[in-house]
Amino acid sequence: MNLLWPGDERAGELFGDSAFLAAMAQVEEAWLDALVGAGIAPRGARAALASLAGAGDVAALADGAEAGGNPVIGFVRLLRGRLGEGESARWLHRGLTSQDTLDTALVLCLRDCVDRIELELGRQAGALARLAREHRGTLMAGRTLTQHAVPLTFGLKAATWLSGLIDAADALRRARTSLPAQLGGAAGTLSAVVELAAGRGLADPVATAREVVAVAAAALDLPAATPWHTARGPLTSTADALVGCADVWGHVAGDVALLGRPEIGELGEPSVEGRGGSSTMPHKANPVLSLLIRRHALAAPTLAATLHGAAASYVDERPDGAWHAEWDTLRTLGRRSVVAASQTTELLDGLRVDTDRMRATALASYDGLHAEQLSMAALVDGSAAGDYLGAADAIIDTTLARAATRWKELS
């Protein structure tokens, strides 16, 4: 839990310390199994590692991580100690390096966050599709640069939110499917596992090493890839996709907060007892969900920027600090994205729409909202006709069709 990031509990154990230990154990176990399967390690080397370390080990491992600059060294030592003197301890981590275990564990934890966010995006799409359909005829004032512009419908506004959500969801899906295992050995050459395969007399040590990578990655349900230990695109592209989601959520939350101001009163957050109060002003009903979502939208880009800065600073075959700067940054972005996704889903599921207030505001400003219509009519020597909603219905239909293609349950 994070006292200074309200709502952090919505992310639960995702990408927490215990989850990260479990992910490292998964990586080590998948690799050990692959070594055995390839005939490099003996059959007796197989071991179930998940139960060997847990939440009770976090403090000690964290305390010891400074000595080696990362938590993997102490983690491997801990596992070997608990495995005892047998073949499992002897073959554990052979052919891997700290970066392999840590990077692949990062990917596993990040993938879990993305999977949760994708579920939330589906729910958000459903809520927005419903709003677009229900309010395709709900007249409201369109606003540009803070001023009334032309008429539109709230259904069109919801469809615009939905269009952005579809784009963000597609980008996140592309990033999710390209998150690979990172398994390359000390300097990305797989030299240790090739040497081990050669020492066992296997016919093609290089092919064997690459097969070990493929088998371990498959066991983790990750794509196999050539080592990307200094090419950080998988992480930065996923971070960018998460920021794209934050952009959409921030847009929605900004509109809700603005249109929920008492002097406008067209939208309102879900009413939850005890939420939105003030420590001194009993009349307040602050838009807490919206402001917390906007908080994330404002903070997320700087986290992605840190990851890009780190990626651009990589040197040698493992850099001096850039790699280390990624870990907690990525965890923070992943967890905060889950929190904001959950908050946005709640906001949209219970969004209150005051259709009477929208219509009254639009009608009270009729002349201004239709001024452009009159100027267009004058250009063609005609008279203004219709509601001046243009292609709003067609745009809504196109967006709903896109959403139904993306999420089959919406069709």
State whether residue 14 is helix, strand or coil. coil
Q: How far apart are the first and last CA of the chain?
A: 39
What mean pLDDT do residues 171-179 have? 97
Q: Which of 50, 60, 46 is nearest to 22 (CA)?
A: 50
Q: With bands split at pLDDT 50, 70 and 90, how would you rate the model's confidence at 278?
A: very low
Beta strands in 107-146 (DSSP E): 139-144
Percent of the chain with pLDDT over 90: 93
Which of 46, 133, 210, 318 does the annotation list as catalytic?
318
Q: How far is CA 117 from CA 164, 304, 306, in A?
A: 15, 17, 22
d(CA 180, CA 163): 29
Question: Is residue 279 pLDDT above 60, yes or no?
Answer: no
Using the predicted structure, report yes or no on whether residue 55 has a pLDDT greater than 90.
Answer: yes
pLDDT digits (tens, 9 = 90+) for 325-341: 999 999 999 999 999 99
Higher pLDDT pick, 21 / 378: 21
Among this protein's residues, is 318 annotated catalytic?
yes
Count other C-beta atoms under 10 Å from residue 20's C-beta: 22
**In the chain, pLDDT over 70 holds for what percent of residues?**
98
- Rounded mean pLDDT, 176-180: 96
Average pLDDT over residues 201-226: 98
H-run or E-run covering 353: strand 352-353
Among residues 237, 2, 213, which one has the least CA distance to residue 107? 237
The per-residue pLDDT for 284 is 56
**Is-contact 132 404, C-beta < 8 A?**
no
- Residue 386 has a pLDDT of 83
**What does the radius of gyration of the chain's CA atoms come to, in whole angstroms?**
27
How deeply is 134 buried, as exposed, middle or buried, from its count of CB atoms within 10 A (0-12, 13-18, 19+)?
middle
278 among known catalytic residues:
yes
* CB-CB neighbours of 46 under 10 Å: 16
Q: Are strands 147-153 and 267-268 parallel, antiparallel or unpaired?
A: unpaired
> In CATH terms, is domain 8-410 a member of 1.20.200.10?
yes
8 A C-beta contact, residue 138 and residue 132: no
Q: Could you read off the pLDDT of 87-103 as tens digits, one per residue?
A: 999 999 999 999 999 99
Q: What is the 3-state secondary structure (H, E, C) of 139-170?
A: EEEEEECCEEEEEEEHHHHHHHHHHHHHHHHH
The torsion region of residue 383 among left (phi > 0), alpha (psi -120 to 50) and beta comes to beta
The strand ranges marked E within 154-226 are none
What is the per-residue pLDDT for 285? Answer: 75
Higher pLDDT, 192 or 286: 192
Q: Does residue 276 carry a pLDDT above 80?
A: no
Q: In which band, very low, low, confident or very high, does the pLDDT at 281 lie, cut at 50, 70 and 90?
A: low
Query: Mean pLDDT throughout 299-321?
Result: 98
Contact 125, 44 (CB under 8 A): no
**212 band by pLDDT with thresholds 50, 70 and 90:** very high
Residue 14 has pLDDT above 70, yes or no: yes
Yes or no: say if 179 and 110 are a contact pair by the CB < 8 Å rule: yes
Model pLDDT for residues 357-407, shown as the tens digit of each residue: 999 999 999 999 999 999 999 998 878 778 999 999 999 999 999 999 999
Q: What is the mean pLDDT of residues 280-307?
A: 89
Around Cβ 3, how many Cβ atoms within 10 Å?
Answer: 6
| Chain mean pLDDT for the chain | 96
Separation between Cα atoms, residue 374 and residue 378, nearest integer Å? 6
By CB atoms closer than 10 A (0-12, 13-18, 19+), residue 65 is middle
Q: Which of 278, 352, 375, 411 is catalytic?
A: 278
Burial of 148 (0-12, 13-18, 19+ CB in 10 A): middle
Q: What is the DSSP letter of 51?
A: G
Mean pLDDT throughout 69-98?
98
